Protein backbone atom coordinates (compact mmCIF):
# COMPACT_ATOMS: atom_id res chain seq x y z
CA UNK A 1 0.00 0.00 0.00
CA UNK A 2 1.48 3.38 -1.01
CA UNK A 3 1.39 6.52 1.16
CA UNK A 4 -1.76 7.86 -0.49
CA UNK A 5 -3.69 4.62 -0.12
CA UNK A 6 -2.52 4.30 3.50
CA UNK A 7 -3.64 7.85 4.27
CA UNK A 8 -7.05 7.23 2.70
CA UNK A 9 -7.55 3.99 4.62
CA UNK A 10 -6.52 5.64 7.90
CA UNK A 11 -8.85 8.61 7.39
CA UNK A 12 -11.81 6.39 6.52
CA UNK A 13 -11.19 4.09 9.50
CA UNK A 14 -10.76 7.00 11.92
CA UNK A 15 -13.86 8.95 10.94
CA UNK A 16 -16.10 5.92 10.55
CA UNK A 17 -15.12 5.07 14.13
CA UNK A 18 -15.74 8.67 15.24
CA UNK A 19 -19.17 8.90 13.60
CA UNK A 20 -21.06 7.95 16.78
CA UNK A 21 -19.81 11.11 18.55
CA UNK A 22 -19.09 13.35 15.55
CA UNK A 23 -22.36 15.28 15.82
CA UNK A 24 -22.43 15.48 19.63
CA UNK A 25 -23.42 19.01 20.78
CA UNK A 26 -20.04 19.53 22.47
CA UNK A 27 -18.43 19.38 19.01
CA UNK A 28 -20.58 22.10 17.47
CA UNK A 29 -17.50 23.82 16.06
CA UNK A 30 -17.45 21.41 13.07
CA UNK A 31 -20.67 22.89 11.76
CA UNK A 32 -19.90 26.44 12.87
CA UNK A 33 -16.69 26.58 10.85
CA UNK A 34 -18.42 24.85 7.94
CA UNK A 35 -21.12 27.53 7.82
CA UNK A 36 -18.53 30.29 8.08
CA UNK A 37 -16.60 28.82 5.15
CA UNK A 38 -19.74 28.84 3.00
CA UNK A 39 -20.53 32.42 4.02
CA UNK A 40 -17.10 33.49 2.78
CA UNK A 41 -17.65 32.32 -0.80
CA UNK A 42 -20.89 34.21 -1.44
CA UNK A 43 -22.94 31.47 -3.04
CA UNK A 44 -25.80 32.47 -5.31
CA UNK A 45 -29.02 30.62 -6.16
CA UNK A 46 -28.55 28.18 -9.00
CA UNK A 47 -24.83 27.58 -8.47
CA UNK A 48 -23.20 24.14 -8.50
CA UNK A 49 -20.96 23.27 -5.52
CA UNK A 50 -18.58 20.41 -4.77
CA UNK A 51 -17.88 19.82 -1.08
CA UNK A 52 -15.07 17.31 -0.41
CA UNK A 53 -14.12 15.81 2.96
CA UNK A 54 -17.68 16.84 3.75
CA UNK A 55 -18.08 14.91 7.00
CA UNK A 56 -21.65 14.99 8.29
CA UNK A 57 -22.59 18.03 6.20
CA UNK A 58 -21.23 21.01 8.13
CA UNK A 59 -20.59 22.99 4.93
CA UNK A 60 -22.56 20.98 2.33
CA UNK A 61 -25.96 21.47 3.99
CA UNK A 62 -25.77 25.28 4.30
CA UNK A 63 -24.43 25.37 0.73
CA UNK A 64 -27.47 23.44 -0.49
CA UNK A 65 -29.79 25.85 1.31
CA UNK A 66 -28.10 28.87 -0.31
CA UNK A 67 -28.00 27.61 -3.91
CA UNK A 68 -31.65 26.61 -3.68
CA UNK A 69 -33.71 24.21 -5.78
CA UNK A 70 -32.11 25.47 -8.99
CA UNK A 71 -28.61 24.71 -7.74
CA UNK A 72 -26.83 21.52 -6.81
CA UNK A 73 -24.34 20.36 -4.19
CA UNK A 74 -22.23 17.22 -4.38
CA UNK A 75 -20.95 16.13 -0.95
CA UNK A 76 -18.10 13.61 -0.92
CA UNK A 77 -16.27 11.86 1.92
CA UNK A 78 -14.34 8.62 2.41
CA UNK A 79 -16.23 7.78 5.62
CA UNK A 80 -19.55 6.21 4.71
CA UNK A 81 -20.90 6.57 8.25
CA UNK A 82 -20.44 10.36 8.14
CA UNK A 83 -22.07 10.52 4.70
CA UNK A 84 -25.02 8.59 6.13
CA UNK A 85 -25.37 11.17 8.92
CA UNK A 86 -25.30 14.02 6.39
CA UNK A 87 -27.83 12.33 4.13
CA UNK A 88 -30.25 11.82 7.02
CA UNK A 89 -30.00 15.49 7.96
CA UNK A 90 -30.59 16.57 4.36
CA UNK A 91 -33.72 14.44 4.20
CA UNK A 92 -34.95 15.86 7.50
CA UNK A 93 -34.52 19.39 6.10
CA UNK A 94 -36.21 18.51 2.82
CA UNK A 95 -33.10 19.29 0.76
CA UNK A 96 -33.43 17.56 -2.59
CA UNK A 97 -30.61 19.41 -4.38
CA UNK A 98 -27.72 17.56 -2.74
CA UNK A 99 -26.02 14.36 -3.88
CA UNK A 100 -23.90 12.28 -1.50
CA UNK A 101 -20.91 10.20 -2.56
CA UNK A 102 -18.59 7.92 -0.60
CA UNK A 103 -15.54 8.70 -2.69
CA UNK A 104 -11.97 9.95 -2.81
CA UNK A 105 -11.67 13.65 -3.65
CA UNK A 106 -8.73 12.81 -5.95
CA UNK A 107 -10.79 10.41 -8.04
CA UNK A 108 -14.25 11.92 -8.46
CA UNK A 109 -14.17 11.88 -12.26
CA UNK A 110 -15.75 15.27 -12.99
CA UNK A 111 -14.65 17.20 -16.08
CA UNK A 112 -12.69 20.45 -15.91
CA UNK A 113 -14.68 23.53 -14.83
CA UNK A 114 -17.65 21.53 -13.48
CA UNK A 115 -18.42 23.64 -10.39
CA UNK A 116 -18.98 27.27 -9.44
CA UNK A 117 -17.40 26.54 -6.07
CA UNK A 118 -15.27 23.75 -4.61
CA UNK A 119 -14.99 23.53 -0.82
CA UNK A 120 -12.71 21.54 1.50
CA UNK A 121 -13.08 22.13 5.25
CA UNK A 122 -10.54 20.44 7.57
CA UNK A 123 -9.60 17.80 5.03
CA UNK A 124 -6.81 18.86 2.70
CA UNK A 125 -4.08 18.02 5.25
CA UNK A 126 -4.98 14.32 5.27
CA UNK A 127 -3.50 13.95 1.78
CA UNK A 128 0.29 13.40 1.71
CA UNK A 129 0.69 15.67 -1.35
CA UNK A 130 -1.57 18.60 -0.51
CA UNK A 131 -0.52 20.67 -3.53
CA UNK A 132 -1.49 17.85 -5.91
CA UNK A 133 -4.88 17.59 -4.20
CA UNK A 134 -5.47 21.35 -4.46
CA UNK A 135 -4.50 21.24 -8.14
CA UNK A 136 -7.14 18.56 -8.72
CA UNK A 137 -9.81 20.59 -6.88
CA UNK A 138 -8.82 23.77 -8.76
CA UNK A 139 -9.18 21.91 -12.07
CA UNK A 140 -12.88 21.42 -11.37
CA UNK A 141 -13.55 25.12 -10.63
CA UNK A 142 -15.17 27.14 -13.43
CA UNK A 143 -13.56 30.41 -14.58
CA UNK A 144 -14.85 33.02 -12.16
CA UNK A 145 -15.59 30.32 -9.60
CA UNK A 146 -14.16 29.93 -6.10
CA UNK A 147 -12.06 27.43 -4.20
CA UNK A 148 -12.34 27.47 -0.40
CA UNK A 149 -9.82 25.69 1.81
CA UNK A 150 -10.31 25.86 5.57
CA UNK A 151 -7.69 24.44 7.92
CA UNK A 152 -6.65 24.54 11.55
CA UNK A 153 -4.37 27.25 12.87
CA UNK A 154 -1.65 26.73 15.50
CA UNK A 155 -2.10 25.11 18.93
CA UNK A 156 -5.23 23.17 18.01
CA UNK A 157 -7.23 22.01 21.06
CA UNK A 158 -4.53 23.09 23.51
CA UNK A 159 -4.01 22.54 26.38
CA UNK A 160 -6.10 19.35 26.11
CA UNK A 161 -4.19 18.14 23.05
CA UNK A 162 -0.81 17.97 24.83
CA UNK A 163 -2.37 16.28 27.85
CA UNK A 164 -3.92 13.68 25.54
CA UNK A 165 -0.64 12.77 23.84
CA UNK A 166 1.25 12.73 27.15
CA UNK A 167 -1.20 10.11 28.40
CA UNK A 168 -0.91 8.11 25.17
CA UNK A 169 2.89 8.11 25.55
CA UNK A 170 2.58 6.40 28.94
CA UNK A 171 0.73 3.37 27.54
CA UNK A 172 1.48 3.23 23.81
CA UNK A 173 4.53 5.35 22.93
CA UNK A 174 4.43 3.84 19.45
CA UNK A 175 1.17 5.72 18.83
CA UNK A 176 2.40 9.12 20.00
CA UNK A 177 2.51 11.69 17.23
CA UNK A 178 5.51 13.93 16.77
CA UNK A 179 3.28 16.30 14.79
CA UNK A 180 -0.28 16.58 13.51
CA UNK A 181 -0.84 16.67 9.75
CA UNK A 182 -2.44 20.13 9.77
CA UNK A 183 0.69 21.68 11.26
CA UNK A 184 2.18 21.77 7.77
CA UNK A 185 -0.22 24.61 6.88
CA UNK A 186 -1.18 26.02 10.29
CA UNK A 187 0.15 29.50 9.49
CA UNK A 188 -1.12 31.73 6.64
CA UNK A 189 2.35 31.80 5.06
CA UNK A 190 2.52 27.99 4.91
CA UNK A 191 -0.98 27.73 3.47
CA UNK A 192 -0.22 30.43 0.90
CA UNK A 193 2.96 28.64 -0.18
CA UNK A 194 1.17 25.31 -0.54
CA UNK A 195 -1.59 26.88 -2.62
CA UNK A 196 0.97 28.64 -4.83
CA UNK A 197 2.72 25.32 -5.40
CA UNK A 198 -0.60 24.07 -6.76
CA UNK A 199 -0.86 27.09 -9.06
CA UNK A 200 -3.46 28.83 -6.91
CA UNK A 201 -2.63 32.40 -5.88
CA UNK A 202 -4.80 34.39 -3.48
CA UNK A 203 -4.51 37.19 -0.95
CA UNK A 204 -7.82 36.19 0.62
CA UNK A 205 -6.36 34.22 3.53
CA UNK A 206 -7.75 35.04 6.96
CA UNK A 207 -6.49 33.64 10.27
CA UNK A 208 -8.96 33.76 13.16
CA UNK A 209 -8.14 33.00 16.77
CA UNK A 210 -10.78 31.28 18.82
CA UNK A 211 -11.60 29.03 21.74
CA UNK A 212 -14.24 26.39 22.34
CA UNK A 213 -15.72 26.16 25.85
CA UNK A 214 -15.57 23.06 28.03
CA UNK A 215 -18.31 22.88 30.62
CA UNK A 216 -16.56 19.90 32.22
CA UNK A 217 -13.37 17.94 31.42
CA UNK A 218 -15.62 15.18 30.07
CA UNK A 219 -16.60 17.50 27.22
CA UNK A 220 -13.06 17.18 25.93
CA UNK A 221 -13.28 13.39 25.96
CA UNK A 222 -16.48 13.51 23.89
CA UNK A 223 -14.71 15.80 21.40
CA UNK A 224 -11.78 13.38 21.20
CA UNK A 225 -14.13 10.45 20.64
CA UNK A 226 -15.80 12.28 17.75
CA UNK A 227 -12.67 13.49 15.99
CA UNK A 228 -9.36 12.33 14.55
CA UNK A 229 -8.16 11.26 18.01
CA UNK A 230 -10.57 8.34 17.76
CA UNK A 231 -8.21 6.56 15.39
CA UNK A 232 -5.62 6.40 18.17
CA UNK A 233 -8.10 5.52 20.90
CA UNK A 234 -9.45 2.66 18.80
CA UNK A 235 -6.05 1.00 18.99
CA UNK A 236 -5.95 0.87 22.81
CA UNK A 237 -7.03 -2.08 24.91
CA UNK A 238 -9.62 -1.50 27.65
CA UNK A 239 -7.07 -0.93 30.41
CA UNK A 240 -5.04 1.55 28.39
CA UNK A 241 -8.18 3.39 27.26
CA UNK A 242 -9.30 3.79 30.88
CA UNK A 243 -5.86 5.08 31.87
CA UNK A 244 -5.73 7.67 29.06
CA UNK A 245 -9.27 8.82 29.83
CA UNK A 246 -8.61 9.25 33.55
CA UNK A 247 -5.18 10.87 33.21
CA UNK A 248 -6.28 13.26 30.46
CA UNK A 249 -9.33 14.45 32.36
CA UNK A 250 -7.50 14.65 35.68
CA UNK A 251 -4.99 17.02 34.07
CA UNK A 252 -7.77 19.28 32.77
CA UNK A 253 -9.50 19.22 36.15
CA UNK A 254 -6.30 19.97 38.06
CA UNK A 255 -5.46 22.92 35.82
CA UNK A 256 -9.08 24.10 35.67
CA UNK A 257 -9.15 24.10 31.89
CA UNK A 258 -12.39 25.72 30.76
CA UNK A 259 -11.70 26.13 27.03
CA UNK A 260 -9.54 24.76 24.21
CA UNK A 261 -7.94 26.59 21.31
CA UNK A 262 -9.76 26.45 17.98
CA UNK A 263 -7.74 28.72 15.72
CA UNK A 264 -8.75 28.53 12.05
CA UNK A 265 -7.42 29.72 8.70
CA UNK A 266 -9.77 30.41 5.80
CA UNK A 267 -8.46 30.67 2.23
CA UNK A 268 -10.63 31.61 -0.76
CA UNK A 269 -9.30 31.82 -4.31
CA UNK A 270 -11.20 33.06 -7.37
CA UNK A 271 -10.30 31.55 -10.73
Give 234-261 pLDDT, tens digit per residue. 999 999 999 999 999 999 999 999 999 9
On whether residue 228 sits in a domain, the answer given is no
CATH classification of the domain holding 54? 3.40.50.150
Output the pLDDT for position 92.
96
In the prediction, which pLDDT does 60 show?
A: 97
**Helix pair angle (217-225, 3-22), 10° resolution:** 130
Helix (H) or strand (E) holding 231, with range, is helix 230-233
| Predicted pLDDT of residue 180 | 73
pLDDT, residue 12, reads 67
Domain residues for the domain of 77 are: 3-156+179-213+259-270
Is 230 a member of any domain?
no
- Nearest to residue 107, comparing CAs of 2, 14, 8? 8
In a domain, 111, yes or no: yes
Q: Is residue 224 part of a domain?
A: no
Q: Is residue 247 part of a domain?
A: no
Q: Do the domain assignments include residue 246?
A: no
Total number of domains in the chain: 1
**Inside any domain, residue 116:** yes
**pLDDT at res. 41:** 97
Q: Which residues of the chain have pLDDT under 50?
A: none
| Residue (of 3, 38, 229, 8) closest to 105 by Cα position | 8
Q: Which residues of 121-151 are buried (b: 16+ CB within 10 A; e: fewer)?
A: bbbbbbbeebbebbbbbbbbbbeebbbbbbb
- Say what the pLDDT of residue 206 is: 97
pTM of the model: 0.93
Residue 225 lies in a domain: no
Question: What was the pLDDT predicted at 251?
Answer: 96
Taking the C-alpha atoms of residue 129 and residue 7, their distance in angstroms, rounded to an integer, is 11
Amino acid sequence: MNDLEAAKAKAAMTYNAAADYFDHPVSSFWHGFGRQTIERIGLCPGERVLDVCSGSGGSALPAAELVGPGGQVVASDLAERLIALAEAKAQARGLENIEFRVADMLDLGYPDASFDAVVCVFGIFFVPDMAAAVKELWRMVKPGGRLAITTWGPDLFEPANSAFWDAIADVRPDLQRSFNPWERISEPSGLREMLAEAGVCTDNIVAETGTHPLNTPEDWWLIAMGSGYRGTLAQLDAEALTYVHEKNLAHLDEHQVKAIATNVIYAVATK
